[in-house]
Amino acid sequence: MIGAAAREALDRCLAERVEFDVPLSRHTSLRIGGPADALATPSDRAELARLLAVCAEHALPVTVLGGGFNVLVREGGIRGVVVRLRKLRRIEQTAPDQVAIEAGASHATITRFCTSHGLAGLEFAAGIPGTLGGWLAMNAGIGVREMKDVVREIDLLDRKGQATTTLPRAALDFRYRELAGLEPGSVIVAARLEVTPGERSKVEAEVDRLLEQRHRTQPIDQPSCGSVFRNPPGDHAGRLIEAVGLKGSRAGAAEISTVHANFIVNHGDATATDVLCLIERARDLVAARTGIRLETEVKILGVAASPKCERG
Ligand SMILES: Cc1cc2nc3c(=O)[nH]c(=O)nc-3n(C[C@H](O)[C@H](O)[C@H](O)COP(=O)(O)OP(=O)(O)OC[C@H]3O[C@@H](n4cnc5c(N)ncnc54)[C@H](O)[C@@H]3O)c2cc1C
Give the residue numbers spanning the domain of 147: 91-217
pLDDT digits 0-9 by tens, 21-77: 999 999 999 999 999 999 999 999 999 999 999 999 999 999 999 999 999 999 999
User: Do 198 and 228 belong to one domain?
Assistant: no
Q: How many domains does the chain have?
A: 3
Would you state the pLDDT for residue 143? 87
pLDDT at residue 310 tops 50: no
Domain boundary among 183, 202, 217: 217
312 vs 310: CA distance, rounded Å: 6
For the segment 168-187, the average pLDDT, to the nearest whole number, is 94
User: Do 138 and 56 belong to one domain?
Assistant: no
Residue 257 appears among annotated catalytic residues: no
pLDDT digits 0-9 by tens, 201-228: 999 999 999 999 998 999 999 999 999 9
180 vs 173: CA distance, rounded Å: 5
Nearest Cα residue to 124 out of 187, 228, 180, 196: 196
Answer whether 131 contacts ligand 1 (Cβ < 6 A): yes
Residue 297 appears among annotated catalytic residues: yes
Do 64 and 161 contact (CB within 8 A), yes or no?
no
Candidates 123, 146, 255, 297; catalytic one: 297
% pLDDT > 70, the chain: 98
CATH number at residue 231: 3.90.78.10
pLDDT digits 0-9 by tens, 247-286: 999 999 999 999 999 999 999 999 999 999 999 999 999 9
Would you state the pLDDT for residue 306? 57
Would you state the pLDDT for residue 184? 86
pLDDT digits 0-9 by tens, 90-125: 999 999 999 999 999 999 999 999 999 999 999 999
Would you state the pLDDT for residue 179? 97
Do 142 and 214 contact (CB within 8 A), yes or no?
no
User: Do 169 and 210 belong to one domain?
Assistant: yes
Would you state the pLDDT for residue 308? 56
Domain boundary among 217, 238, 268: 217
Rg (CA), the chain: 20
Would you state the pLDDT for residue 233? 94
User: Do 9 and 28 belong to one domain?
Assistant: yes
User: Do 116 and 197 belong to one domain?
Assistant: yes
CATH number at residue 187: 3.30.465.10
User: Do 213 and 95 belong to one domain?
Assistant: yes
pLDDT at residue 309 tops 70: no
Would you state the pLDDT for residue 305? 80
User: Do 144 and 230 belong to one domain?
Assistant: no
Q: State pTM to two decimals.
A: 0.96
Measuring from atom 33 of ligand 1, which residue has the nearest CA? 134
User: Do 264 and 293 belong to one domain?
Assistant: yes
User: Do 210 and 225 belong to one domain?
Assistant: no
Mutate to test the pocket of ligand 1, among 69, 110, 158, 299 (most ligand atoms within 8 A of CB): 69
pLDDT digits 0-9 by tens, 279-301: 999 999 999 999 999 999 999 99
pLDDT digits 0-9 by tens, 225-237: 999 999 999 999 9
What integer best gives the mean pLDDT of the chain?
96
CATH number at residue 70: 3.30.43.10
Would you state the pLDDT for residue 312? 36
**70 to each of 201, 225, 228, 262, how far by Cα in Å?**
31, 5, 8, 13
Mutate to test the pocket of ligand 1, among 70, 135, 188 (most ligand atoms within 8 A of CB): 70
Domain boundary among 62, 84, 106: 84
Nearest Cα residue to 157 out of 72, 4, 292, 51: 51
Nearest Cα residue to 114 out of 207, 210, 214: 207
User: Do 224 and 130 belong to one domain?
Assistant: no
pLDDT at residue 307 tops 90: no
Split at pLDDT 50, 70, 90, the class of 162 is very high
User: Do 199 and 106 belong to one domain?
Assistant: yes
Split at pLDDT 50, 70, 90, the class of 183 is confident
CA-based angle 147:119:212, to the nearest 5? Answer: 70
User: Do 207 and 120 belong to one domain?
Assistant: yes
Would you state the pLDDT for residue 311? 43
